[in-house]
Amino acid sequence: MAKVTYNEDNIRSLDWKEHIRMRPGMYIGKLGDGSSPDDGIYILLKEVIDNSIDEYVMGFGKNIEVSLSEGSITVRDFGRGIPLGKVVDCVSKINTGGKYDSKAFKKSVGLNGVGTKAVNALSDYFKVQAVRDGKTKIAEFERGDITKDARIAKSTEENGTIIVFKPDLSVFKNYRFRPEFMETQLWNYVYLNSGLRINFNGKSFYSRNGLLDLLTRKTSNEQLRYPIIHLKGEDIEVALTHGQHYGEQYHTFVNGQNTTQGGTHLNAFRESFVNTIRGFFNKNYDAKDIRASIIAAISVRVEEPVFESQTKTKLGSLNVAPNGPTMRSFVNDFLSKALDNFLHQNPEVAKDLQKRIMQSERERKEIAGIKKLANQRAKKANLHNKKLRDCRVHFNNTSRNITEEERNNSTIFITEGDSASGSITKARDVQSQAVFSLRGKPLNCYGLTKKVVYQNEEFNLLQHALNIEDSLDDLRYNRVVIATDADVDGMHIRLLLLTFFLQFFPELVRAGHLFILETPLFRVRDKKSTYYCYSEAEKQEAIEKLRGKPEITRFKGLGEISPDEFGDFIGENIRLEPVILQEETNIDKVLEYYMGKNTPNRQEFIIDNLRVEKDEIDEDNASQTIEDQIVKTESEVEVAG
């Protein structure tokens, strides 16, 4: 065994940017390529905008300009501007900033003086410009190293701060900003800061009624049981209603920060809502029945908030202020008065709310026996040996002991057939990637009740593998990836799985956990080089690079790709397409259109979007072949009949 030395040479002191670049997860959570709303590139954007929001909250600047161009982001606010003599320090010295002055930033999001420094260190290019009272200061950086430190000069621009950054490709590999995720971020900012206007690439974001507007927009296409209840108090705002969906849906915020993983404020709300409803109706309803199908938003402002990570996605504060009331008592005091008063003043709303609770109670009791038998079957099926090849993170720990980084990196692939699951299983990262193997095509569950989840063995075992039987909070994997073949059968299975998640677990999709695995369609190679191509265009590009007559292989099934090759496609170079559920999407209408009884509209859609590969038909028989293809495609899509 080689002798390991330990002396003065082994001791290193890292400067601020070296530590951020060496341990980026400590500062921005997971990295990612932009396919998930909590990927690092969106955290960088958030860190910049948070400073502009703080200026607005302090009463300076009602507009923020955001633009995206070729992977570069520009954020311009019209606040007071960074003091000119401290511009460089504020973006390049850890523990430097104005938020340590608790009087100036009493209820700010970021109090650690890290945000823009992390953006600077993790960007190929970073520019900061401050404008104050007719003068301006500009500095530019590359990966945290200053490249331009301009002198203070005269300016005719309005006061404010301009930040430009382009994420470092060596850190965020193959990243791409997705406007849908950015727009959701910006909407949340304006909902939580009524009167603020944000302009982004030609679109304007503005809200007058705060969380009422948020819930109105997010439920615009849902069938609600009663009008949205909107309650406002000092440092707290709540909007809530009940829909027709399964599960609980929450949007939570602290000091303007979207706490996607909840925290003490959400726990307090869930408990307080149950207590208030029980007290109002004077009935000891089951908590699950009271909260079933709830859609709610809650925003609180607290002093010196404590989050469970630098990304601030989960609140850990037990109190609303260092010497103030507990979060639990603060939220309970507010709801027990404001919500109770509202229900007394609006008896029709109270009546509809109670009907929803009683319906949930009936449904729960109806499936109780089925659920018990299903759980017993899941145990007998020996899930972890036959259907699920788990990752070591879950073999060695319970969910409560898993770190945030481990959870963020965890993935489960849902595959079809033994050959595909075998290839992925052999190629996967055993530490963080699990594989669930389907047996045949799943049931088309459109229009069915949740009883089918327990009665159907495949669905029952799948929900157990994901651990989403009772709550999305218990989801065992951050990324749920549908991995099916690139043929008609594979697309069919993908549709059936999408229907399952949208029908019974839409919150999993809304939260950005569901993805489609993209695998190469072609392998183009000669004796020296090999290219894996994901489209016809990439194939043609590869042929031109190799020239001559390279060997071309068309992959139609995942099982045709060897484990050695597969390792690259589910490793560092993995391509995932997120399943994005737009707020204006009506799930019922989408599922009815694609998965319900066949309609002329759907047949017309298939014909209009039909694509036939040129090498599969000859000119003489083109017309007949296309007609045959239409019939074949129509029969495959007709999954409900």
Burial 349-370 (b: 16+ CB within 10 A, else e): bbebbbebbebbbebeeebeeb
The percentage of residues in the chain with a pLDDT greater than 70, rounded to a whole number, is 85
Q: Note the Cα 11 to chain centre separation in Å.
A: 39
The C-alpha atoms of residue 147 and residue 164 are separated, in whole angstroms, by 14
pLDDT tens digits, 148-182? 999 999 999 999 999 999 999 989 888 999 999 99
**Which CATH number does the domain housing residue 419 bear?**
3.40.50.670
Signed CA dihedral, 363, 364, 370, 375: sign only? positive
The C-alpha atoms of residue 551 and residue 530 are separated, in whole angstroms, by 9
Residue 252 pLDDT greater than 80, yes or no:
yes
In a domain, 220, yes or no: yes
pTM: 0.74
Which pLDDT does position 552 carry in this prediction?
92
Parallel, antiparallel or unpaired: strands 63-69 and 197-200: parallel
In a domain, 5, yes or no: no
Amino acid identity, position 366:
E
Which pLDDT does position 385 carry in this prediction?
52
**Which CATH number does the domain housing residue 317 bear?**
3.30.230.10
Number of structural domains (the chain) is: 5
In a domain, 375, yes or no: no
Which pLDDT does position 634 carry in this prediction?
37
Same structural domain, 386 and 299: no
In a domain, 1, yes or no: no
Same structural domain, 97 and 220: no
298 — pLDDT class (breaks 50, 70, 90): very high
Which pLDDT does position 620 carry in this prediction?
39
Same structural domain, 498 and 527: no
Per the model's pLDDT, the better-predicted residue between 57 and 337 turns out to be 337
In a domain, 7, yes or no: no
Same structural domain, 603 and 634: yes
Which pLDDT does position 158 carry in this prediction?
94
Same structural domain, 442 and 333: no
Tokens of 439: 């047996």
pLDDT tens digits, 538-597? 999 999 888 888 999 988 778 778 888 888 888 878 888 888 877 667 777 788 778 877
Which pLDDT does position 357 carry in this prediction?
94
Signed CA dihedral, 449, 452, 453, 455: sign only? positive
In a domain, 346, yes or no: yes
Same structural domain, 166 and 29: yes
Exposure of 308 in the CB half-sphere (CA atoms within 13 A): 14
451 — pLDDT class (breaks 50, 70, 90): confident
What residues pair up with 479 in beta bridges, in sequence order?
A: 411
**Angle formed at CA 343 by CA 342 and CA 349, multiple of 5 degrees:** 115
Which pLDDT does position 190 carry in this prediction?
94
Same structural domain, 459 and 496: yes
Q: 483: helix, coil or strand?
A: strand
Same structural domain, 197 and 215: no
Length of the chain measured in residues? 641
637 — pLDDT class (breaks 50, 70, 90): very low
In a domain, 370, yes or no: no
Query: Which structural domain range is residue 536 located in?
Result: 522-554
Parallel, antiparallel or unpaired: strands 433-438 and 411-416: parallel
Same structural domain, 283 and 194: no
pLDDT tens digits, 381-394? 655 556 788 888 76
* Average pLDDT over the chain, rounded to an integer: 82
pLDDT tens digits, 605-630? 777 776 554 444 343 343 333 333 33
Give how far Cα 477 sits from Cα of 383, 388, 390, 405, Å.
16, 13, 10, 12
Same structural domain, 576 and 454: yes
Q: Are the C-beta atoms of residues 269 and 529 closer than 8 Å to each other?
A: no
Exposure of 70 in the CB half-sphere (CA atoms within 13 A): 1
Which of 27-36, 397-406, 502-511 is least confident? 397-406
**Angle formed at CA 522 by CA 521 and CA 528, multiple of 5 degrees:** 150
The domain boundary, picked from 148, 177, 206, lies at 206
Segment 342-356 shows an average pLDDT of 95
The percentage of residues in the chain with a pLDDT greater than 90, rounded to a whole number, is 36
31 — pLDDT class (breaks 50, 70, 90): confident
Same structural domain, 421 and 494: yes
Which pLDDT does position 344 carry in this prediction?
96
In a domain, 2, yes or no: no
Q: Are the C-beta atoms of residues 20 and 44 closer than 8 Å to each other?
A: no
Residue appearing with tokens 């599922």: 591
Same structural domain, 512 and 548: no
Residue 349 pLDDT greater than 50, yes or no:
yes
DSSP 55-93: HHHTT--SEEEEEEETTEEEEEE-SS---GGGHHHHHHS
Amino acid identity, position 79:
G
pLDDT tens digits, 351-376? 999 999 999 998 888 887 777 777 77
